[in-house]
Amino acid sequence: MLAFVIRRLALSIPTLLGVMVIVFLLLYVAPGDPVQDMVGERADAETIARLRKELHLDEPVYKQFTAYTLGVLKGDLGNSYITQRPIIQDIRERFPKTLLLAGSAMLLASVLGVTIGVMSARNPGGWFDRIGLGFAYLGISFPVYWVGLILILIFAVNLKWLPPSGYGGIKYLILPAFALGSRSIAFLARVTRSSMLEVLGGDFVRTARAKGLHERVVVARHALRNALIPIITVLGLDFGYYLTGSILTETIFSWPGIGRYVVNAIARRDLPAINGSVLFLSVVFVLVNLITDLAYAKADPRVAYS
């Protein structure tokens, strides 16, 4: 197992290096001037030239990339052009908020999605199965930003039960967590249903029922565990997506996470903030995929890594 982890971490280094190169070059060739965005349109040419020199933007791109790479190897992602603060400090303050939102969305998706899938599989073709499948189709079809706006309209504007945006107690977390996890709830319900239907027809399930075990024990202890592999795959991929792709949700609900930080950095051409955030999120996604692979072996003893 340890050798597998070390090998996966070693293989992730070229991936992260490729991310650094692609993002850096894309930002370099993208239209716009970050210095112009910082000083405004009325700044004189002398001021713009001085700032470009201070920020080393007048140097060739290979020198800029070399300096940036050396800084990353030392644990320095640079300073923001706008806030003048270290990027790593901004990430340290904002990532826990994104982690809270992603964890809440994943908790909702795990509980609701797996429950709906299991109950649908126990009585395929029944009324609950039909309602669950209808909900799953709707959840997969609706985009996150549309779900978020509908939730705000219903529960914040009309019913006034929950705040429409912001960061605070649990009331501020409910709507963005449900909006972010809505697609996973629907997709996880379908995956769980399909996997459970396949497992419930197995010989070991019939044997467990023949031994007189209660149906709940058969479903929870025997069937569900053997159906966990595709469920873990969905949970791992979606959790990585929540951590790295919650930009729309954080923007709609004004959630002060790292996704909204990236949006603001892109809008203001804050190149160090964009580079540092994308690299950090890439590392997070690699680690989440590694943890997902390790969870396979925990859920199914037949899966072994060497």
Residue 54 confidence (pLDDT) above 80? no
Q: What angle do CA 181, 121, 209 make, to 5 degrees?
A: 135
pLDDT reported for residue 297:
67
Q: Which domain holds residue 244?
A: 94-299
Residue 211, in any domain of the structure: yes
Q: How far apart are CA 242 and CA 237, in angstroms?
A: 9
Residue 111, in any domain of the structure: yes
Residue 247, in any domain of the structure: yes
pTM (predicted TM-score): 0.83
Q: Which of 136, 120, 251 is nearest to 185 (CA)?
A: 136
- Predicted confidence band at 41 (pLDDT cuts at 50, 70, 90)? low
Residue 264 and residue 221 share a domain: yes
Residue 153 confidence (pLDDT) above 90? yes
The domain total for the chain is 2
Residue 24 confidence (pLDDT) above 70? yes
pLDDT reported for residue 290:
83
Q: Which of the given ranges, 8-12, 98-102, 227-231, 301-305, has the highest pLDDT on average?
A: 98-102
pLDDT reported for residue 289:
81
- Predicted confidence band at 155 (pLDDT cuts at 50, 70, 90)? very high
Residue 78, in any domain of the structure: no
Residue 270 and residue 172 share a domain: yes
CATH number at residue 178: 1.10.3720.10
Residue 305, in any domain of the structure: no
Residue 256, in any domain of the structure: yes
pLDDT reported for residue 201:
76
Residue 114 and residue 45 share a domain: no
Domain boundary among 17, 39, 73: 73
pLDDT reported for residue 43:
67
Model pLDDT for residues 120-138, shown as the tens digit of each residue: 888 888 888 888 888 888 8
Residue 138 and residue 264 share a domain: yes
Rounded to the nearest 10 degrees, the angle between the axes of helix 114-122 and helix 171-200 is: 30
pLDDT reported for residue 303:
59
Percent of the chain whose pLDDT exceeds 90: 11
Residue 144 and residue 221 share a domain: yes
Q: What is the mean pLDDT of residues 63-92?
A: 87
Instruction: Find all residues with CB under 8 Å of 8, minimum gap 6, and list them.
Output: 290, 293
Residue 152 confidence (pLDDT) above 90? yes
Residue 40 confidence (pLDDT) above 70? no
Domain boundary among 41, 73, 105: 73
Model pLDDT for residues 290-301, shown as the tens digit of each residue: 887 777 666 666
pLDDT reported for residue 301:
60
Q: What is the mean pLDDT of residues 30-37?
A: 72
Residue 41 and residue 121 share a domain: no
Confirm if 257 and 26 have CB atoms less than 8 A apart.
Answer: no
Residue 240 confidence (pLDDT) above 70? yes
Residue 55 confidence (pLDDT) above 80? no
Residue 272 and residue 165 share a domain: yes
**3 state SS of 79:** strand
Q: What is the mean pLDDT of residues 140-149?
A: 85
